[in-house]
């Protein structure tokens, strides 16, 4: 993880700042950008939660000596914060965050809190979000899952006052969340809250608000591996990518993974392929036998030797949905080991979600702990069933029929008139 940028006012407060103080804090904070590495994150959390320092998750571009805190100057954000004033306890927030696989980085009480009834929780995104549109989408997704939070947190320029008590919570493992998982789990949350019959109406409402294209009634998120995509308009390779807007812009999300969140302008139909589903999977059931021969992680999953982590299960699931009966096999294995896996309902939803949104198989490097020692080929399926693929950024040359004909004639002539006794093989690519 690279250094994390945040706007932090280092002036300490023991009480909630008054209007006069707020004006000064607002003027200072956009001009007070700090870079934090993993070792400094806890110190930052203590500055905020225990020493009363105000922070803004976003940082702002500098066009002059003074940088105003406004959306036009948005640079990036990696911390995501929610404010809870009443109606839910921190334990309930923790439980919900765990249920939807969004680990909290730290939490602290606000100045006006009594017995932890008012608090803020902070998440850490795995990469810097450099597009304000994406930042708004991700914050809105969090607020959808946590409707008890102050909805004004949707303002990406918002400042969060610190606290003057001990931190309520800090996870020393420095866990992260990512945009794809947030949007997927927001969809799962709506399914749980609104029901199987109606949840897609709320997904559609979310999509309309943010002009996100739909596929089969779900957000149109396409994932790629680094071998297949990641070039910008100039043909340069990008280290990571997520979202293409109407200008074809590529923006970062997850290291070694690529996601395209399809967005549209106001006059474009946001729903495409609503009833389109493939009739047949790309790989036959026999592929499972090939996977057993080459994938150590899958064998551990199938045999129940060890409990797999959530992201490892996601990686396997996105591969198996492309195999005939792969979905049934995945759910059957979960049922075989109830001590390991007790959320079959969730995985039934995830598997349908992956199929309906036509997720590509996750690359081994992104989830498998054995990828360093395994002679894998991009993902589980390609390892089990190797195939020829065009190399990323390879510019294939084209020739006219006349040129090819002349080249073949010359090759035959050279072979026929050769003085050697060796066999000549002429390879012609059509």
208-246 residue pLDDT tens: 999 888 988 999 876 554 334 444 333 333 333 344 443
What is the DSSP code string of 268-300?
S--EESTT---SS-SB-TTHHHHHHHH-HHHHH
pLDDT attached to residue 46: 97
**Residue 1: pLDDT band with limits 50, 70, 90:** low
- DSSP assignment of 133-170 equals HHHHHHHHHHHHH-TTS-GGGG-TT--B---SS--SEE
**DSSP state at residue 233:** T
Q: Is residue 297 scored above 90 in pLDDT? A: yes
What band does 413 get if pLDDT is binned at 50, 70 and 90? Answer: confident
How sure is the predictor about 247, in pLDDT bands with cuts at 50, 70 and 90? very low
> Quick check: 22 pLDDT over 80?
yes
pLDDT at 37: 92
Cα–Cα distances (Å) from 69 to 23, 57, 76, 154, in that order, read 11, 12, 12, 15
What is the CATH topology of the domain spanning 4-177? DNA primase, PRIM domain (3.90.920)
Backbone dihedral angles phi then psi of residue 102, each to the nearest 5 degrees: -130, 80
Full 3-state SS string of 45-77 = HHHHHCCCCCEECEEECCCCCCCCCCHHHEEEE
* pLDDT digit string, tens, across residues 180-218: 999 999 999 999 999 999 999 999 999 999 988 898 899
How confident is residue 261, by pLDDT bands cut at 50, 70 and 90? confident
Structure tokens at 330: 């995945």
**Is residue 75 within 8 Å of 56, Cβ to Cβ?**
no
Identify the residue whose tokens are 């081994």. 364
Q: What is the mean pLDDT of residues 65-84?
A: 91
Q: Which whole number is the average pLDDT over 91-101?
A: 97
Looking at per-residue pLDDT, the higher value among 386 and 188 belongs to: 188
Burial of 364 (0-12, 13-18, 19+ CB in 10 A): buried
Does pTM surpass 0.85? no
**In the predicted model, what is the mean pLDDT of residues 310-331?**
95
Calculate the average pLDDT of the chain.
85
Residue 347 pLDDT level (bands cut at 50, 70, 90): very high
pLDDT value of position 223 = 59
Q: Determine which helix (DSSP H) or strand (DSSP E) holds 193, and give its type and residue range.
A: helix 179-194
DSSP H or E stretch at residue 46: helix 41-49
Nearest CA-CA partner of 86 in 113, 118, 121: 118
Check: CB of residue 252 under 8 Å from CB of residue 243.
Answer: no
Helix (H, G, I), strand (E, B) or coil at 336: helix
Q: pLDDT band for 306, please (50, 70, 90 cuts).
A: very high
pLDDT-derived band at 171 (thresholds 50, 70, 90) equals: very high
* pLDDT on residue 245: 41
- Residue at token pair 């004006």: 23
- DSSP lists the bridge partners of residue 272 as 215
Which of the four pLDDT bands, split at 50, 70 and 90, describes residue 268?
very low
pLDDT computed for residue 388 by the predictor = 57
Per cent of the chain over pLDDT 70 is 83
Rounded to 10 degrees, what is the CA torsion of 45, 49, 51, 53? 80
């Amino acid at each position: 993880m690279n250094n994390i940028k945040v706007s932090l006012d280092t002036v300490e407060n023991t009480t909630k700042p008054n209007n006069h103080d707020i004006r000064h804090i607002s003027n200072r904070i956009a001009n007070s950008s700090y870079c934090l590495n993993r070792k400094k994150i806890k110190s930052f959390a203590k500055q905020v939660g225990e020493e009363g320092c105000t922070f803004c998750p976003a940082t702002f571009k500098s066009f002059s000596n003074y940088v105003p805190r406004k959306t036009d100057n948005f640079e990036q954000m990696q911390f995501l914060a929610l404010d809870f004033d009443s109606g839910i306890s921190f334990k309930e927030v923790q439980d919900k965050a765990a249920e939807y696989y969004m680990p909290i980085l730290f939490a602290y009480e606000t100045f006006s809190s009594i017995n932890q009834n008012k608090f803020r929780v902070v998440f850490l995104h795995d990469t810097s979000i450099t597009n304000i549109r994406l930042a708004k989408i991700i914050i809105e997704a969090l607020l959808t899952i946590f409707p008890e939070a102050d909805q004004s947190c949707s303002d990406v320029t918002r400042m969060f006052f610190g606290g003057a008590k001990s931190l309520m919570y800090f996870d020393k493992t420095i866990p992260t969340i990512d945009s794809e998982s947030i949007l997927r789990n927001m969809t799962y949350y709506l399914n749980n809250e609104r029901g199987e019959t109606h949840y897609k109406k709320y997904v559609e409402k979310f999509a309309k608000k943010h002009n996100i294209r739909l596929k089969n009634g779900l957000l149109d998120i396409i994932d790629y591996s680094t071998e297949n995509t990641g070039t910008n308009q100039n043909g340069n390779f990008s280290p990571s990518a997520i979202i293409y807007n109407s200008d074809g812009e590529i923006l970062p999300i997850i290291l070694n993974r690529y996601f395209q969140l399809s967005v549209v302008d106001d006059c474009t139909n946001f729903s495409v392929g609503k009833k389109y589903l493939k009739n047949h999977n790309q790989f036959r059931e026999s592929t499972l036998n090939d996977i057993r021969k080459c994938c150590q992680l899958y064998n551990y999953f199938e045999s129940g030797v060890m409990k797999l982590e959530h992201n490892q299960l996601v990686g396997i699931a996105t591969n198996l949905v492309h195999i005939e009966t792969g979905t049934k096999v995945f759910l059957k294995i979960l049922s075989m080991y109830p001590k390991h896996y007790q959320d079959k309902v969730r995985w039934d939803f995830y598997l349908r979600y992956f199929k309906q949104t036509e997720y590509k198989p996750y690359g081994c490097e992104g989830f498998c702990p054995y990828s360093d020692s395994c002679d894998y080929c991009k993902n589980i399926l390609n390892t089990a069933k190797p195939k020829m693929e065009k190399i990323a950024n390879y510019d294939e040359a084209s020739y006219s029929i006349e040129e090819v004909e002349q080249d073949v004639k010359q090759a035959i002539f050279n072979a026929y008139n050769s003085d050697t006794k060796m066999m000549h093989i002429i390879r012609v690519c059509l």
